[in-house]
Amino acid sequence: MTDLDARRLASDLRRAVRGEVRFDDGSRALYATDASNYRQVPIGAVLPRDVEDVVRAVAVCREHDAPVLPRGGGTSLAGQCCNVAVVLDMTRYVNRLVEIDPDRRTARVEPGLVLDDLRQAANRHDLTFGPDPATHTHCTLGGMLGNNSCGVHSVMAGRTSENVESLDVLTYDGARLTVGRTTDEAFSRITAAGGRAADIYRRLGALRDRYADRIRERFPDIPRRVSGYDLPALLPEAGFDVARALVGSEGTLVTILGATVRLVPWPRGRSLLVLGYPDVYAAGDRVPEVLEAGPIGLEGLDDRLVQDMVASGIHPEGVRLLPDGHGWLLVEFGGETKAESDGRARALMDRLRGGPHPPSMILYDDPAKEAIIWRVREAGLGATANVPGRPLTWEGWEDSAVPPDRLGDYLRELRALFDRYRYGCALYGHFGQGCVHTRIDFDLETPWGIETYHAFLEEAADLVVRFGGSFSGEHGDGQSRAELLPKMFGDELMEAFRAFKAVWDPAGRMNPGKVIDAYRATDNLRLGAAYAPREPETHFAFPADRGSFARAALRCVGVGECRKHDAGTMCPSYMVTREERHSTRGRARLLFEMLEGQVIPDTWRNDAVKEALDLCLACKGCKGECPVNVDMATYKAEFLSHYYARRLRPRAAYAMGLVHWWARAASLAPDLANLVTQTPALAALVKAAGGLAPERALPAFAPQTFRQWFRRRAAPNGGGPEVILWPDTFNDHFHPRTAAAAVSVLEATGARVTIPERVLCCGRPLYDYGMLGLARRQLRRILDALRPEIRAGVPIVGLEPSCVSVFRDELGNLFPHDEDARRLGRQVLTLAEYLAQRADHVELPTMERRALVHGHCHHKAIMTMGADRVVLGKLGLDAEVLDSGCCGMAGSFGFEPGARYDVSVRAGERVLLPAVRRADAATLVIADGFSCREQIRQGTGRHAMHLAEVVAMALREAGRVAEPAPADGARPAA
């Protein structure tokens, strides 16, 4: 390794493979850690195009004696996905679902395939792949095979190893084999054929024969034994199943090229029963009797997890749905019909009522509520990783498993051990199979804390062995637990493990230092006693991270929720490019590495970070959906403010970032401004001068601004409560009809509508270019101008979601100690929020119309769409709120050329634009965001309406308001 020439290795790889070879420092930093406590900077990364590329890449690595790490989604919690090796990232290209055979109930997959892609395809045949960890939206089949993943429904279907028919594998020395169960006849045929395969099988047979009795004696016979290599699969009674023996080997033996996996029936009817107990220990005690009822899933959680969720503001609606208690079991039943699954749930309820100490019980029949409850359970890691006011928590003993009938007692003794070490944590997990998850507030930054952590691991391992359990029940050994394996298996089986590795990887080049002959649990820590990141001065205060940008950069725990690609908003650039550097996780890691300064420069002028952030749409989807609320939009604004300090920004920064001032100038002569921006030849010159995409149409300025219209209108008589309508730049200068409609709506509620005397702007576009000094001055002007109204508690209604989010988010981050800033943040409401608050006093007319609703990203992330759903329901609309993610325009982002324009269009084409095109002409298209409406107009020719316009339409049709007067600038193309 010391003689390895990385530059020559990279050059040879580029000549050999069709895929991408990335040995630059930025790429190495991206792959330096997984979701664990560990960090090891790789030699480089290869993104192979296909299976043959994988074979060629390993061959080149072999020529250079370079270690190899095949990697899935990088979500491993035990450190098995980081190493000083060449990382093979299969997720971008080697990700096909090759075939589904519904008759045989099998599927052929490539290792980079995301689990939910397989499950969705299988569901069409009423089948599923049984193991389903909480990362199911983004974990890969290759990673699941590497870790022997389980999940909620392993109660029904077993571990991944129990759902594999065969594996196509590649050894480091170049042998390609298809392995599975091996009959005596097949064994004889393989060994007689000679070659590397024969050698492997002969040595496996000898290993089995030598250690069979010890394997039967020492391996825990429990549902969730994942620790160690799966040598029991080689026993005659297991059918000498070589594929199953390789599952869970964490990339330390072979590279998986493909797999044939088993599918199981997916019950059409499912019912969720939640049981509440006095504490989590009592819940653990009752697991055996619940299992007797035959559930397809049985999860548990304690009251500390619920407290952490409340403190973090995670899924508050789900917490409220839990029955009384301080420990809960989530019991899912399946059946051919909902009536059948409900019947099984009710039978258990009747039995529990008739027994001693019956729990509190709720059987949910609403799929929406069931989904919320499951999100509460799946959010366990995020809810406990970064709780406000508490120390950070870490993996390290998050995965132990014991016999289910001993779970209650194990939980009691485990909690006693935590208390003795003064560690705090929540307890939750797959209680139906005795598997306990937790994150613990280890001190991994001081020598004493690290020594204490190691001492705890020794005692925790002894405790599990005493209970006949496994150190890992799902996440694998990696580095977190590998050094402890002799306690569980003894010296003789450890020699068997070494012999098993030597059969497959005699050179020891597959993911070395993991599982066998492993690093200590305290080596290669991501933090460690030498952790001392730079603490730069920042514009934002980062109050949620104790005022520390370094702590904010540490917030990402690596679980990769941002790598999902078919639901939600986070992360739109990753959904389009499938690039790790374009995920929230990738960007957060680069910021962490920047502050460390070991791989990439410790400077704000860091081009690797800048490149990763270039395609961030600043949508805030991560702040709303990331389990630990990583806020990349804010980090990006902070970074750019320093990156461009005392430097010229790109032309688009001045064309779009200063749009408020350009719009004010245009309002002096809107006809002349439109002549320039709407005449094709002149518009082309404007776009070229402003650094804008030539494909984009520039929105037209309205002939009269909203402020001009409002000042000239005849003010209605009335003395209702004052409401300030915020005239944002976009609705003031481009869409004044929207603001006028909002006036009509607010006045119909009895409000007396006013607008600020001074022309004010929240500065929303400035954040996209890091113009934070100017943005701060804009907010200070607002605080000074509106101080009397702020202190009087006058509500302020904003129409542009991105502007409302400035008051609710950035304002407090820039002015964390200003009481008026806090008041203003509470007083600014969306129109829907204002109407929902007055729902008991305002009767809205109903309209029998269908509507397609797209939520602005900032709206979904910061304000949420709850109030909008209430108002849409009051209007009687048949409204479909699209799961459309980000529209792609994202303020100025979609107006910029090159990759940004491309990502913008592709993001819009994921869901939103096709849905609008499919909608008939009578369907209302509703989108509050100016950029969203512009993306819809330019991408489909349809005119999308603001909620204000929809409510005004309903009031107008009911004869309660008149037609709004001002004309818009940009009109629909068709």
DSSP string for 624-637: HHSTT---HHHHHH
Burial of 455-467, coded b for 16+ CB within 10 Å and e otherwise, reads ebbeebbebbbeb
Average pLDDT estimate for 429-440: 96
Average pLDDT estimate for 182-209: 97
pLDDT of residue 106: 98
CB 553 within 8 A of CB 472: no
> Residue for token digits 């022997």?
148
d(CA 974, CA 952): 22
pLDDT of residue 974: 34
Average pLDDT estimate for 345-361: 95
pLDDT of 898 over the 80 cut: yes
Average pLDDT estimate for 80-85: 97
Q: Residue 151 pairs with which residues in a beta bridge? A: 132
Residue in 256, 252, 209 with CA at minimum distance from that of residue 485: 252
> What token pair was written down for 497?
């493990």
Calculate ∠ Cα 156-140-91, nearest 5°: 170
Helix (H, G, I), strand (E, B) or coil at 776: helix
Residues 6+ apart with CB under 8 A from 137: 114, 115, 116, 561, 564, 566, 567
pLDDT of 965 over the 80 cut: no
pLDDT of 717 over the 80 cut: no
d(CA 96, CA 50): 10
Residue in 841, 837, 870 with CA at minimum distance from that of residue 947: 870
pLDDT of residue 2: 53
Helix (H, G, I), strand (E, B) or coil at 769: coil
Q: Which amino acid is at 934?
A: E
d(CA 586, CA 699): 34
Calculate ∠ Cα 175-181-183, nearest 5°: 105
Residue in 438, 379, 429 with CA at minimum distance from that of residue 404: 429
pLDDT of 915 over the 70 cut: yes
Residue in 150, 153, 161 with CA at minimum distance from that of residue 262: 161
Distances (CA, A) of 612 to 458, 507, 579, 922: 41, 36, 10, 42
Q: What digits encode the pLDDT tens for the residues 582-634? A: 999 999 999 999 999 999 999 999 999 999 999 999 999 999 999 899 999 99
pLDDT of residue 972: 38
d(CA 144, CA 161): 9
Average pLDDT estimate for 710-739: 91
Residue in 653, 777, 821, 667 with CA at minimum distance from that of residue 729: 667
Q: Dihedrals φ, ψ of 799, to 5°?
A: -100, -30
What is the enclosing helix (H) or strand (E) of 430?
strand 428-430
How many angstroms from the chain centroid is the CA of residue 805? 21
What is the enclosing helix (H) or strand (E) of 261?
strand 255-262
> What token pair was written down for 475?
């996440």
pLDDT of 56 over the 60 cut: yes
Average pLDDT over all residues of the chain: 95
pLDDT of 1 over the 70 cut: no
What is the enclosing helix (H) or strand (E) of 722?
strand 722-726
Residues 6+ apart with CB under 8 A from 768: 618, 637, 656, 657, 891, 892, 893
Distances (CA, A) of 452 to 418, 522, 559, 744, 909: 12, 10, 26, 66, 53
CB 545 within 8 A of CB 623: no
Local confidence band at 341 (pLDDT 50, 70, 90 cut-offs): very high
CB 363 within 8 A of CB 272: yes
Burial of 24-39, coded b for 16+ CB within 10 Å and e otherwise, reads ebbbbbbbbbbbbbbb
As a whole-number percent, the residues of the chain with pLDDT over 90 amount to: 91
d(CA 590, CA 601): 10
How many angstroms from the chain centroid is the CA of residue 573? 13
Q: What digits encode the pLDDT tens for the residues 512-528? A: 999 999 999 999 999 99
Residue in 623, 627, 159, 134 with CA at minimum distance from that of residue 377: 134
CB 638 within 8 A of CB 538: yes
pLDDT of residue 295: 97
Residue in 655, 610, 661, 658 with CA at minimum distance from that of residue 636: 610
pLDDT of 973 over the 50 cut: no
pLDDT of 209 over the 90 cut: yes
d(CA 261, CA 259): 6
